[in-house]
Amino acid sequence: MIRAVQANDAKAICDIYNYYISDTIITFEEESVSPADILTRINSLLSADLPWFVVEDKTGQVIGYAYAAKWRERFSYRFSVEVTAYLSPDHGGQGLGTQLYQALFTALKDKGIHSVIGGITLPNSASIALHEKFDMVKVAHFKEVGLKFDRWLDVGYWQATL
């Protein structure tokens, strides 16, 4: 089930995201976050009238999420957002990312968003496939812009016009 995020989802989101911080190159954050940190992030996006969705399993446990954030702060960027999705490591490959992005992109279209951008630490074939499923095309590739686990990492950017 896909639904809008609620404050009490912060702990489950925190648990999912901390896995990606501690065990993967997917995010460049290196310090674990707390549920309070996640709640601050949720409130910041919701106060900016940007969508954040979660997906639950059959028991009601949050197993993934997706949201849109401002692309840049300057006023002229107000119709452009950066999109992000994360799934519990046990729930990849089940189409949940697609379901989350469908809900997210629909909400963004309804809000009059024009440009959607996704940054992907490379390599990440699953994330590339998800973004390209939504007609996002690679528009940039930055070489060795992040250092994590003593490894220089590239970041690619994918973009679509809604």
Residues 6+ apart with CB under 8 A from 53: 2, 3, 4, 5, 65, 66, 67, 100, 103, 104, 107
What pLDDT is attached to residue 94?
85
3-state secondary structure 21-80: HHHCCCCCCCCCCCHHHHHHHHHHHHHCCCCEEEEECCCCCEEEEEEEEECCCCHHHCCE
The number of domains in the chain is 1
Q: Which residue has the tokens 């729930």?
A: 91
Domain containing residue 41: 2-161
* 109, amino acid identity: K
Distance CA 115, CA 159 (A): 7
Instruction: For residue 114, give the 3-state DSSP assignment.
Output: coil
| 102 contacts: CB under 8 Å, gap ≥ 6 | none
> How much is the pLDDT for 153?
98
Q: Residue 14 belongs to a domain with what CATH number? A: 3.40.630.30
Per-residue pLDDT reduced to its tens digit, 2-36: 999 999 999 999 999 999 999 999 999 999 999 99
Tens-digit pLDDT profile for residues 108-136: 999 999 999 999 999 999 999 999 999 99
pTM: predicted TM-score of the whole model, two decimal places: 0.95
- Please say if the pLDDT value at position 93 is more than 90: no
